[in-house]
Chain A
Amino acid sequence: MADMQPDNQSTIDASVAKTVGKLSIVVVGMFAFVFVVMVPLYDVLCDALGINGKTSGERYQVVEVAVDTSREIRVQFVATNNDGMPWEFRPTESVVKVNPGAINSTVFYAKNPLPKDMVAQAIPSVSPSRAAEYFHKTECFCFNQQPLDGGAETDMPLQFIVDQDLPKDIKTITLSYTIFDVTAMVAPEAPVAVR
Chain B
Amino acid sequence: MGAHGPAKGLMRWVTTTNHKDIGTMYLWFSFAMFILGGAFAMIIRAELFQPGLQIVEPEFFNQMTTMHGLVMVFGAIMPSFVGLANWMIPMMIGAPDMALPRMNNLSFWILPPTFALLASTLFMEGGAPNFGWTFYAPLSTTYAPDTVTFFIFGVHLMGASSIMGSINIIATVVNMRAPGMTYMKMPMFVWTWLITAFLLVAVMPVLAGAVTMMLMDVHFGTSFFSAAGGGDPVLFQHIFWFFGHPEVYIIILPAFGVVSQIIPTFSRKPLFGYDSMVYATASIAFLSFIVWAHHMYTVGMPIAGELFFMYATMLIAVPTGVKVFNWITTMWKGAMTFETPMLFCIGFVFLFTVGGFTGVMLSLAPADFQYHDSYFVVAHFHYVMVAGAVFSMSAAVYYWLPKWCGKMYDETMGKAHFWISFIGFNLTFFPQHFLGLAGMPRRIPDYALQFTDFNTMSSIGAFIYGASQILFLFNVIRTIVAGKPTSEEKTWDGAEGLEWTVPTPAPYHTFTTPPDVK
B-binding residues in A (CB < 8 A):
1-4, 12, 15-16, 19-20, 23-24, 26-31, 33-35, 38-39, 42, 46, 49, 51-52, 80, 82-83, 123, 125, 128-129, 178, 180
Interface size on B, residues (CB 8 A): 38
Contact status of A30 and B205, CB under 8 A, knowing A3-B1, A16-B100, A49-B302? yes
Which of chain B's residues have a CB closer than 8 A to the CB of A128? 300
Give B207's nearest chain A residue, CB to CB.
A34
Find the A residue at minimum CB distance from B242.
A38
Given A82-B228, A82-B229, 4 additional A-B pairs, CB 8 A: A19-B167, A31-B205, A39-B213, A42-B238
In chain B, positions 170-190 with a C-beta closer than 8 Å to chain A are 170-171, 174-176
CB distance from B247 to the nearest CB of A (A): 13
Known pairs A3-B1, A30-B203; A46 contacts B209 (CB<8 A): no
| A20-B205 contact in complex given A34-B239, A38-B239, C-beta closer than 8 Å | no
Chain A residues with CB under 8 Å of B142's CB are 83
Q: Determine how close the nearest CB of chain A comes to the CB of B154; give it in whole angstroms.
A: 17
Report the minimum CB–CB distance from A152 to chain B (whole Å).
23
Bound form: Cα–Cα A30–B232 in Å: 21
- The binding surface of chain B is classed by DSSP as helix
B503-516 vs A, CB cutoff 8 Å, 1 = contact: the mask equals 00000000011000
**Chain B neighbourhood of A15, CB < 8 A:** 174-175
Distance (whole angstroms) from the CB of A193 to the closest CB of chain B = 14
Contacts of A2 in B (CB 8 A): 1
Are A4's CB and B229's CB within 8 A?
no
A23/B167 contact (C-beta < 8 A), A1-B96, A16-B100, A34-B209 known: yes
Of chain B, the residue at the smallest CB distance from A53 is: B300
| A52, B202: Cβ atoms closer than 8 Å | no
Does A19 contact B170, Cβ atoms closer than 8 Å? yes
Whole-angstrom CA separation of A12 from B229 in the bound complex: 52
Contact of B205 among A28, A80, A178 (CB under 8 A): A28
A51, B208: Cβ atoms under 8 Å? no
A3 to B171 alpha-carbon distance, docked (Å)? 22
A29 to B208, CA, bound (A): 12
Q: B1–A34 contact, CB under 8 A?
A: no
Least CB distance from A57 to B in Å reads 10
Q: Give A8 to B204 CA distance when docked, in angstroms.
A: 33
* A-B residue pairs, 6 tightest by C-beta: A34-B209, A31-B205, A30-B205, A82-B228, A19-B171, A16-B99
Choose among A28, A49, A123, A129 the residue that contacts B228 (Cβ–Cβ < 8 A): A123
Chain B residue at minimum C-beta to C-beta distance from A12: B175
**Given known contacts A16-B175, A24-B167, A129-B300, A42 and B209 CB-to-CB distance under 8 angstroms:** no
User: Any chain A CB within 8 A of the CB of B230?
Assistant: yes
Pairwise interchain contact B227-A4, C-beta atoms closer than 8 A: no
B168 to chain A, nearest CB (A): 9
Residue contact A20 to B100, C-beta cutoff 8 Å: yes
Nearest residue, chain B, Cβ from A195 = B230
Closest B-chain residue to A81, C-beta based?
B228
Task: Say which residue of A23, A42, A52, A180 sits within 8 Å of B201 (CB atoms).
Answer: A23
A180, B174: Cα distance in complex, Å: 54
> Are A51's CB and B96's CB within 8 A?
no
Q: Which residues of A contact B512 (CB under 8 A)?
A: 1, 4
The answer for the CA separation of A35 and B228 in the assembled complex, in Å, is 20
Measured in the bound complex, the distance between the Cα atoms of B238 and A46 in whole Å is: 13
Q: Is the CB of B228 within 8 A of A51?
A: no
Q: From residue A53, how far is it (CB to closest CB) to chain B in Å?
A: 9
Closest CB-CB distance, A182 to chain B, in whole Å? Answer: 10
Tell me, in angstroms, the Cα distance from A4 to B3 when the chains sit together: 13
Q: How far is the CB of B406 from chain A (nearest CB, A)?
A: 25
Whether B152 is near chain A, meaning CB under 8 Å from some CB there, is no
Q: For residue B228, which residues in chain A have a CB less than 8 angstroms away from its CB?
A: 80, 82-83, 123, 178, 180
- Asked if B209 contacts A35 (CB within 8 A), the reply is yes
Q: Which residue of B lies closest to A1 (CB)?
A: B96
Q: How far is the CA of A20 from the CA of B167 in the complex (A)?
A: 6
How far in angstroms is the closest Cβ of chain A from B41?
Answer: 31
Chain B residues with CB below 8 A from A3, complex form: 1
Inter-chain contacts of A180 with B (CB < 8 A): 228-229
- Contact with B206, one of A19, A33, A123, A129 (Cβ below 8 angstroms): A33
Contact pick for A34, options B171, B206, B227, CB 8 Å: B206
Determine whether B234 belongs to the interface, using a CB cutoff of 8 Å to chain A: yes
- Nearest B residue to A35, CB-CB: B209
Q: Select one of A16, A20, A28, A39 contacting B235, CB under 8 A.
A: A39
* Of B202, B238, B301, the contact of A38 (CB 8 Å cutoff): B238
Q: Give the complex CA separation of A186 and B185 in angstroms.
A: 65
**Chain B residues near A33 (CB-CB < 8 A):** 205-206, 209
27 inter-chain pairs at a CB distance below 8 angstroms, sorted by A residue, are A1-B1, A1-B96, A2-B1, A3-B1, A4-B1, A12-B99, A16-B171, A16-B176, A19-B99, A19-B175, A20-B167, A24-B167, A26-B202, A27-B163, A30-B201, A30-B202, A30-B203, A30-B209, A31-B205, A31-B209, A34-B205, A34-B206, A34-B213, A35-B209, A42-B235, A51-B302, A123-B229
Chain B residues closer than 8 Å to A123, beta-carbon distance = 227-230
B170 contacts across to A, CB distance below 8 A: 19, 23
B210 at the interface (CB under 8 A from A): yes
